[in-house]
A and B are shown apart, each in its own frame.
Chain A
Amino acid sequence: MAGKNNDYTDKELLRLFRDSNSKDYAFNLIVKKYQERIYWHVRKIIIDHDDTDDILQNTFIKIWSGLENFREASGLFTWIYRIATNEALIFLKQKKRRYILPLIDVRKQLADTLETDQYFNGDEMQLKLQKAILTLPGKQRLVFNMKYFDDMKYEEIAGILKTSVGALKASYHHAVRKIEKYLTKY
């Protein structure tokens, strides 16, 4: 048995969750273990803190509902990341549909949010980089954030996005080139 709090492995947490006596306790540990990583992953996609908070809650509610039937075809970490990513992408799609906005306008709206967001404290270059990232197509944006900021392995990203390592490498390569071009231009 592992030590206290988040020293539990994912397998141990799952075993605790499946025991009705420790279900709530195990879920609380899972939330504490992953909330920060998932929050920052979603925040980089959604930009706005309040929207990210909503998505984070929805993500963990889905995890709570689905964890009993989780068959461990992938790791818990991968599964949670996948749910969070899907929730974030669905949110952006709904936003686009709600305001009948093309995706490019949604990105512009996110860039405007960056400039006015009280919870963004980056310098001029960091703001420029975030704006450059927002110009990337959806999947490239995800790949760039996960690789560049979260320093995740290609194999991990491949498991979450259900794609090949080769495709991810190419995607990251294109993303870096586009960002560089943007940084030079503006």
Chain B
Amino acid sequence: MNDMKKANNNLSKINKDNPFQIPEDYFDDFPLRLSEKIHARKAPGIYEKYLLALRPYMAIAALFIGVVIIGTIFYNVFSPEKNIQESKTNEIAEIISEDAYYLSEESIIEIIYMNDVVHEDEQAGDSKDNLTNEVIDYLINEEIDIIDIIDAL
């Protein structure tokens, strides 16, 4: 408490008059300057009024477009198909990197050759199916009963 009194005593030695100054006639001019500034503020015109009224709808439209864009990007980046494809590629790459050491050039050629043979078989199977379908179509078109054929045999 004594410190406070002492401090206040020291403060009281300092001239308490306002040391700051202002330009001449500042307070006389201020209300007019302020009034001009307030009235110069542009009142919204018809265009601005429509724009203000449309603002919520524009915001919703922008939000929708944003969601679609983000969704598309998200889908392209994280789609399951791509993940499967990527994981298969990774798996193959992993197998190759692990097993390449043990594989000779001949064995790789053999694998590719066997793969081609399997595909040829599959393709042959497909052509057989095509032939069967053609026969069935012919029988239907010619109205030949399957029982007649069996009897003829």
B-binding residues in A (CB < 8 A) = 24, 28, 31-32, 35-36, 39-40, 43-44, 49, 53, 56-57, 60-61, 64, 119-123, 125-130, 148-149, 173, 176-177, 179-180, 183-184
Contacts and interface: CB of A to CB of B under 8 A. Distances in A.
A149 B16 contact: yes
A144 to B, nearest CB: 10
Interface in B16-68: 16-23, 26-27, 30-31, 33-35, 37-38, 41
Interface of B: 3-4, 6-8, 10-11, 13-23, 26-27, 30-31, 33-35, 37-38, 41
Contacts of A180: 3, 6-7, 10-11
28 contacts: A24-B35, A28-B31, A31-B31, A35-B31, A40-B18, A49-B22, A53-B26, A57-B33, A57-B34, A61-B34, A61-B41, A119-B22, A120-B19, A121-B21, A122-B15, A125-B15, A126-B14, A126-B17, A128-B14, A129-B11, A148-B16, A173-B4, A176-B4, A176-B7, A176-B8, A177-B7, A180-B6, A180-B7
Contacts, number: 80
Interface of chain A: mostly helix, strand, loop or mixed: helix
Given A120-B20, A125-B14, 9 more contacts: A35-B27, A39-B27, A119-B21, A120-B21, A128-B14, A173-B4, A179-B7, A180-B11, A183-B11
